Structure formats: C-alpha cells, structure tokens
C-alpha cells in the first residue's frame, strides 16, 4: 500500500516540477531576450551618436574649409588690390619724375620734330638738328665765357603763318643764370615771315662756359616756353 501511495505521489509531483522548470526557463529566455534587446538598442543608440558626431565633425570641417577658402580669396583679392594700387602709385611717381626733370615742360629731343602753337593759334614745328660747343665763329668777336653753344634749328610754319626769331630761344645754366646770345655768326636763323608750309633753317648761338651744361628753351610766344632740351658739353 505504501508503495502505491509513493508511486501516486511521484506521479503527481513530476508534472508540477516539469511545469516549474518550464516557467523558469521561459523567464530566463525572456530576460535574456530583454537584455539582448537592450544591448541592441544601446548599440544602435551608440551607432547613431557616432554617426551624428561624424556628421557634425564633417560639417564643422567643411565650414572651416569654406571659411579658410573665403579668407584666402579675400586675402588674394586684397593682395591684388594692393598690387594694383602700388602699380598705379609707381606709374604716377614715374610721371611726376619725368615732369620734374623737365620743369613741367615738354622735352625736345635732338633730330625729332617738336610741334606747338603760338599765341595766335598758328602751329609751329621746330627740329633741333645739331647742338655743340664750338670756338667763336667770328675771329673779331670773342666769347666772354670762352665757348659758343651752336644750335642748328629748322623752323616750319605747319599751319597759318609765323616769323622765326633767335630771340624765341633762351639758354640757362644749372644755377638758372641766363646765357647771352652770341651775334657774331653769319648764318643766324632768318627773321623773315613764313606762310603755311614754308621752312627756315639757321643757327642760334649762345656765349657759354665750356664745361657747363645748359637747358635751352623754345618760346613760340614771348616769355612762354613750350619745350626744352638739355645740352651737355
């Protein structure tokens, strides 16, 4: 009888134990699943955070790059502007230097026609074809300063009429002293009226020091020089 009761009790107990075991296993499985899910969520969150961080870093890098590029462009633009300003300043300085070297007058060059107008609007073209220091051409008339500056001039009435004259030329030394004209030559520039197209050729002489340079000015209108040339011994 005892054996029968024991068998019955065992038979009743086994299903209960099996049910408990099944319940515990399911709970563990759910717990494990929940943990796995939590871990997965954490990884996804971490991945999202890293992606967001990378995006922000990339965006910051791009912004920084754009700023640097913009700064380089602005610097380049400033450099170019500065270069243009310096070039312009150099050009203006060069122009000022040239004007200063001729005293604000146009430069007359040897063997090159120089055209200007007189007070009446007549156009005159002169060409200095020769300029040299010589001994006095007249043996009976000495040069008190030792030498004569001889300038050969071709005078043309380009438009209208004009009258050539040696008095339209003056010569000054570096200190501003005006040289006297020398009138001992026989081939002075003619003083006869010219009509349009006419040309006169003759000499203009100055009594000068032998080792001094002189600035010769041409005045188409009295006391109003239009151009000048520097003659050196």
| Out of 27-36, 100-109, 111-120, least confident range | 27-36
How would you class 164 by CB atoms within 10 Å of its CB: exposed for 0-12, middle for 13-18, buried for 19 or more? buried
What is the arithmetic mean of pLDDT over 88-105?
A: 50
| Out of 70-74, 111-115, 214-218, least confident range | 70-74
pLDDT tens for each residue of 175-227: 999 999 999 999 999 999 999 999 999 999 999 999 999 999 999 998 899 99
pLDDT bracket for residue 10 (50, 70, 90)? low
For the cut 60, the answer to whether the pLDDT of residue 137 exceeds it is yes
The residue with greater pLDDT, 55 or 12, is 12
What is the arithmetic mean of pLDDT over 76-84?
A: 48
pLDDT bracket for residue 102 (50, 70, 90)? low
How would you class 123 by CB atoms within 10 Å of its CB: exposed for 0-12, middle for 13-18, buried for 19 or more? middle
Task: Please state, for a pLDDT cut of 70, what percent of the chain lies above it.
Answer: 56
What is the arithmetic mean of pLDDT over 112-136?
A: 97
pLDDT at 222: 87
Instruction: Note the pTM of the prediction, 2 decimals.
Output: 0.58
Beta strands in the chain (DSSP E): 106-107, 114-117, 123-134, 147-159, 169-172, 180-181, 199-208, 214-218, 227-231
Between CA 62 and CA 40 the distance in angstroms is 32
pLDDT at 173: 96
Q: Across all residues in the chain, what is the average pLDDT? A: 73
pLDDT at 104: 82
């Amino acid at each position: 009888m005892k054996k029968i009761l024991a068998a019955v009790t065992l038979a009743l107990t086994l299903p209960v134990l099996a049910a408990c075991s099944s319940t515990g296993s399911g709970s563990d499985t759910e717990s494990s699943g929940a943990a796995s899910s939590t871990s997965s969520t954490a990884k996804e969150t971490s991945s999202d955070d890293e992606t967001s961080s990378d995006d922000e870093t990339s965006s910051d890098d791009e912004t920084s790059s754009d700023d640097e590029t913009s700064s380089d462009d602005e610097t380049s633009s400033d450099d170019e502007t500065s270069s243009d300003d310096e070039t312009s300043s150099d050009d203006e300085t060069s122009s000022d230097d040239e004007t200063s070297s001729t005293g604000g007058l146009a430069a007359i060059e040897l063997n090159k026609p120089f055209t200007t107008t007189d007070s009446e609007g007549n156009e005159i073209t002169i060409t200095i074809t020769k300029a040299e220091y010589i001994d006095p051409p007249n043996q009976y008339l000495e040069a008190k300063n030792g030498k004569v500056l001889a300038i050969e001039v071709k005078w043309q009435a380009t438009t209208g009429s004009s009258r050539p004259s040696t008095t339209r030329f003056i010569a000054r030394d570096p200190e501003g002293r005006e040289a006297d004209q020398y009138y001992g030559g026989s081939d002075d520039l003619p003083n006869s009226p010219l009509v349009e197209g006419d040309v006169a050729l003759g000499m203009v002489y100055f009594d000068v020091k032998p080792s001094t340079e002189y600035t010769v000015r041409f005045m188409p209108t009295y006391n109003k020089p239009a151009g000048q040339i520097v003659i050196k011994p």
